[in-house]
Amino acid sequence: MLAEVTERALALTRARHLLLVGGVACNHRLQEMLQTMCRARGAELCPVDDRYCIDNGAMIAQAGCEMLRVGQVTELSQSGITQRYRTDEVEVTWRD
């Protein structure tokens, strides 16, 4: 799923480099899949050193701030954790 969404993003942006960061960058199978996809598209995969591949709470907090800024609030009783969903199915309401 991540490789598919990333390939779409590369195609739309015509990017020549793909920077892989965060906790997901520790997944060597994902790195292999993205490397194969990048080679096929003529792009370069640039994974960050494993020492720096950690989940970033600051990114999550920033997303929460953006949601709050536009008035998107989820009651605690309605919130939860979903570990398996497609990133392209997330409704982004805080951007134009």
In terms of Cβ atoms closer than 10 Å to its own Cβ (0-12, 13-18, 19+), residue 27 is: middle
Checking if the pLDDT of 87 tops 70, the result is no
How far, in Å, CA of 27 to CA of 53, rounded?
10
Tokens of 33: 């899949």
| pTM listed for this prediction | 0.58
Bridge partner list, 45 = 18
**What pLDDT, on a 0 to 100 scale, did the predictor assign at position 2?**
85
Checking if the pLDDT of 75 tops 80, the result is yes
Of residues 10 and 87, more confidently modeled: 10
56-67 pLDDT tens trace: 677 778 888 888
- Three-state DSSP at 89 gives helix
Checking if the pLDDT of 11 tops 70, the result is yes
19-57 pLDDT tens trace: 998 888 888 899 999 999 999 999 999 998 887 777 667
